[in-house]
Copies of this chain bind each other. A is one copy, B any other.
């Protein structure tokens, strides 16, 4: 049954060089609008839910273009404020084989979202109109006003009986020196509010400071995730282990910990067309599985297949339907569908 979910986060304009050109070679860019919140809201809209974005866009033609793009993704803009002056932007140059992709940011700290004043959003009212809300660690890294938005919004949703989803998504470049120490109290506060948390053993060790004598990733996961779930009161913890293979395919295995049990997807190996946003597809798959009361075995496989498909489509925002993901769970490589 369709649920109502809001995602809180910045809308970024992605400006991508064509093919495998560098910015200093090309003279055109393709653009789209994304961000973790956009991606999760868009993915869940595509999966049939009523999705809202809670964000702030500039009242100018760039903001209009972002709004049009959100509508195209099926995201309701009832809770999108217009204010400030600028849009966060990033440039993407596609890598090829041994050459990595490069991302160059514009000054997102001056964006409409990151400069939106305290009173911009009516969280009490929004909280009454949704079943769940999604936050992410990138937003947590922005500034104090944004963090206050997050805490107030999460608390309001909680108070109204809704669920809080938090994706740890720690980005070292956003936290600077001593990043983990700086981030810890904020992460702890969010995790205490969270019902569903996206994280893995590295987050547990580095951000939350848990220690272990294990060394294999699987062992660390088995030891640390239950500890985190217990101490922060998280009912679903989930995440992925990912590796880039020598032949440029990627491998990905999803895990989900709930009701004191671990569930794992198969390790999926596949060619990659567009890497960005695949983690958001995984998160959306977990949320969808919970919304639809899938068995955890199915939820984790669904989320992993959603993440795999997100690597094969253009843009940051997942565009696969439930039906396409279910089919992908049963198949490896496919011929033409006519």
**A residues apposed to B, CB below 8 Å:** 15, 19-32, 60-62, 64-65, 67-69, 71-74, 85-87, 89-91, 93, 95-107, 110, 171, 173, 244-249, 268-273, 275-276, 308-309, 311-315, 319-320, 324, 328, 331-338
Contacts and interface: CB of A to CB of B under 8 A. Distances in A.
Contacts of A68: 24, 72-74
Contacts of A103: 336-338
A106 B106 contact: yes
A334 B30 contact: no
Given A29-B31, A314-B25, A319-B22, A336 B61 contact: no
A276 B22 CA distance: 17
Contacts of A98: 268, 270, 308-309, 312, 328, 331-334
Which 9 pairs show the lowest CB-CB distances between chains A and B? A100-B334, A97-B271, A103-B338, A23-B65, A72-B72, A99-B312, A96-B312, A24-B68, A24-B65
A173 B25 contact: no
A303 to B, nearest CB: 15
Chain A's interface: helix, strand, loop or mixed, by majority?
loop
Nearest to A310: B99
Given A85-B107, A96-B271, A173-B338, 6 more contacts: A15-B29, A22-B314, A24-B72, A87-B106, A89-B89, A98-B333
Contact of A69 (B72, B248, B334): B72
8 contacts: A19-B314, A24-B68, A25-B315, A97-B273, A100-B336, A103-B337, A110-B110, A248-B333
Nearest to A327: B100
Contacts of A62: 23, 91, 104
Given A20-B313, A69-B72, A71-B72, A28 B28 contact: yes
B25 A28 contact: no
Contact of A20 (B20, B26, B86, B273): B273
A122 to B, nearest CB: 19
Nearest to A75: B71
Contact of A101 (B65, B96, B269, B336): B336
Nearest to A328: B98
A321 to B, nearest CB: 9
Contacts of A86: 106-107
A26 B69 CA distance: 10
Among A15, A104, A248, A268, chain B packs the most CB atoms within 10 A around the CB of: A104
